[in-house]
A and B are shown apart, each in its own frame.
Chain A
Amino acid sequence: MRPPLVRRPDGVIAGVCTGLAVHLGISPAWVRIAMVVLTLASGAGVVLYGWLWIFVPTTADRVDLGRRSGPASFMRDVDGVGAPGAGPDGGTAGAAMVGALDDAAGSAPAPGQTQTWADRARRAGRREILFGAGLLIAAAALLAQLLGVEADWGFLLPVSVVVIGAALAWSQLDEARRARVMSQAHGAKGGWGFRLLAGIVLVVAGVLVALSSSNSLSLTMTTLVAVIAVLTGVGLVLAPWGLKFWRDLETERASRVRETERAEIAAHLHDSVLQTLALIQNRADSEADVLRLARAQERELRQWLFADPTRDPGSLAERLRVTAGEIEDLYGHPVAVVAVGDALLGPGEDALAQAAREAMLNAAKHAHVAVSVYLEARADSIDVFVRDRGAGFDPDRVPADRAGIRESIHSRMQRNAGSADLRTGPDGTEVHLRLPRTSGNDLPDKASGLAGSRKDTG
């Protein structure tokens, strides 16, 4: 199958030739030569090029169309467009202009395509070649005139000025499309107004010169004033329409952002909640399974909705929460974690987390009820309470071969200069783990606020 006809981001002016070459499966050089040859035939090549420029979408546009598939491609797209900022290329004004043209025309890379510096350098080189070729043509024309060939400079010069101006203005078309693709227009703001203005000035000047080349300067000035007056009038008439267009564009952009968000939420709900609901319907006869599924899904959804992305995933509180979730899934009893303060995971905290895990496991395994976990991290110590409302047990009658409490909890805490207390009775069992705090384990961001509040309370 033929690749679709799109304007390529790696083209020289607007990516028309490159795109055509890819579509036809031939070398871009041949397409360019064909264009030049066609241009020599009364400028047909230029007309064809302009026509294709207007009507053939860029790869970015196509991505734009197909973006509803998911947010990831959208984000990639935005990143890709935002990346090649309008950097200054080339030393001369002409090269800069051509570079600007090229930037405007086709620097939006295809999704997933990374733009390397080598790419940019190669493209910059091409621009210079183009500029050099232009100069060579001009020189050849001059030479031809010197050799006696009659060239109608009064006609050619204005026309070329008009063409350059039109190209400059047309590049805004791509710019506008790109701005629509991007959620923020910051990248498009740069030389936007300048380029458009330069394009208009060039076109107007070119047309004026072409029309009035044979006439006097005063007449040219009069015409200029008249033209400006007419343009101002047209501008006044078109301004409301333009404003409306711009507002529509803004609205559409906003709705696209909303659509993307909606798509993201839909994708997430589909992957998680809908799947779980389907599972629940399948297992409706098993109460334990339904409960477990519902709880796991609730936890996952909470994590997704309310999780603080700035929160350190390596903190003690997060670790306990994850552990609680695992044990909830294993035994089907809710394990609720309440954390006051937080601490970074050091060797001591790691041991504390493991001991707490063991305590939660025991509670869920033997008590068969809900488990409450309370973490309090203070300046001098970290306390963890694991409580259940089970029937309790007699610690002295635990068989000697059961290493759970003694080895996993008591010894582990003692090795880290901490302690573990076990209280058990008919109302339930509570394990209290305490770790004296060594300095430097406070989470930096929270330490400031919490330590501050402690300072003024104590």
Chain B
Amino acid sequence: MTSRESTHRAEPPRVSVVIVDDHAIFRSGLRATLGDVISVVGEAATVEEAEVVIRATGPDVVLLDVHLPGGRGGGGAEVIHRCAAFATTSRFLALSVSDSAEDVVAVIRAGARGYVTKTISGPEITDAVQRIASGDAVFSPRLAGFVLDAFGTAAVAVDDELDRLSGRELEVMRLIARGYSYRETATELFISIKTVETHVSAVLRKLQLSSRHELTRWATERRLL
């Protein structure tokens, strides 16, 4: 996991969080490891519960398990779709033990701002939640590797091309896949952390909006994530 530094933010605001996971043990464990700057305002175990809790509490960030019981069987992605119906301002961070690309791509394309595995450490998840709350995207090395595999590793000059990654975006994705934090990536590329975050957000947008059929085909054919 990439550990991400939050020291560059002077006084991070207290972030409200809803944890959506069907395992009570995991929810309480996560609650315990989240730092002081995060307040857990609600928990949910199913798709329906999640919708109700998110609507009632309107948290900054929803920590969302990819696999959830209830609903029409759509899991985390269905929660995001349902919440989109009442125009939630909450941002979603997908959490998963799953290794399958389909699962993660489904939840990312539904609108999650990032994806991390459940083995992530306390400080890392705290930092990821803060990042998501401030509007950034959070990529694990695996997600970055998936993006590289799906979009191809050759750069294009045009930055706004939806199906391609620009040279800078490629470089950023590569470093994240190599296990670099945002700060380390910024140092490595002689750019600011803010620029790294911009690039990652741009990649996330492409991942969500790309109609590139290879993305789905690849996701079903290979299980790398």
Contacts and interface: CB of A to CB of B under 8 A. Distances in A.
A231 B162 CA distance: 70
B141 A376 contact: no
Contacts of B184: 427
B152 A457 contact: yes
A372 B178 contact: yes
Nearest to A378: B153
Interface in A8-50: none
Interface string A87-122: 000000000000000000000000000000000000
A372 B141 contact: yes
Contact of B179 (A336, A339, A378, A458): A336
Contact of A454 (B141, B154, B218): B154
A387 B185 CA distance: 13
Contacts of B14: none
B179 A450 contact: no
Nearest to B156: A457
Contacts, number: 75
A219 interface: no
Nearest to A307: B223
Given A338-B144, A374-B177, A374-B179, A308 B153 contact: no
B221 A449 contact: yes
Contacts of B153: 340-341, 376, 378, 454
A453 B178 contact: no
A446 B217 CA distance: 12
| Interface SS, A side | mixed
B178 A339 contact: no
B218 A449 contact: yes
Interface in B142-171: 142, 144-145, 148-149, 151-156, 164
A341 B149 contact: yes
B43 to A, nearest CB: 24
B151 A453 contact: yes
Contacts of B214: 449, 453
A200 interface: no
Contacts of A389: 3, 179
A100 to B, nearest CB: 44
Nearest to A370: B1
Given A336-B141, A340-B177, A376-B153, A308 B148 contact: no
Best-buried of A306, A334, A372, A453 by chain B (most CB within 10 Å): A453
A339 B224 contact: yes
B145 A339 contact: yes
Interface residues of A, number: 29
Interface size class of B (residues with CB under 8 A): 20 to 34
Nearest to B183: A427
Contacts of A236: none
Interface in A315-364: 334, 336, 338-341
A308 B223 contact: yes
B55 interface: no
A458 B164 CA distance: 10
Best-buried of B144, B217, B223 by chain A (most CB within 10 Å): B223
A385 interface: yes
B178 A374 contact: yes
Interface in A363-393: 370, 372, 374, 376, 378, 385, 387, 389
Contacts of B222: 308, 446
B4 interface: no
Contacts of B217: 449
Contacts of B174: 374, 376
A340 B1 CA distance: 17
B99 A374 contact: no
Nearest to A432: B178
A2 interface: no
A430 interface: yes
A376 B148 contact: yes
Interface in B179-215: 179-180, 184, 214
A454 B115 CA distance: 26
B57 interface: no
B100 interface: yes
A338 B1 contact: no
A400 interface: no
A65 interface: no
Contacts of A374: 141, 145, 174, 177-179
Contacts of B149: 340-341, 450
A326 B54 CA distance: 43
Contacts of B1: 336, 370
Nearest to A458: B154
Nearest to B149: A340
A312 to B, nearest CB: 12
Contacts of B221: 449
Nearest to A310: B221
Nearest to B143: A338
A259 to B, nearest CB: 22
Given A340-B153, A376-B174, A306 B100 contact: yes
Contact of A306 (B141, B142, B164, B223): B223
Contacts of B164: 457
Contact of A338 (B99, B152, B156, B177): B177
Interface string B69-111: 0000000000000000000000000000011100000000000
Given A449-B214, A453-B214, 20 more contacts: A306-B98, A306-B100, A334-B119, A338-B145, A339-B145, A339-B224, A340-B148, A340-B153, A372-B179, A376-B174, A376-B177, A385-B178, A387-B179, A449-B221, A453-B151, A453-B152, A454-B152, A457-B152, A457-B156, A458-B154
26 contacts: A306-B99, A306-B100, A307-B223, A308-B222, A336-B1, A336-B141, A336-B142, A336-B179, A338-B144, A338-B224, A339-B145, A340-B148, A340-B153, A374-B141, A374-B174, A374-B178, A374-B179, A376-B148, A387-B180, A446-B222, A449-B214, A449-B221, A453-B152, A454-B152, A457-B151, A457-B155
Q: Which 7 A-B pairs have the closest CB atoms?
A: A372-B179, A338-B145, A306-B99, A458-B154, A453-B152, A457-B154, A374-B178
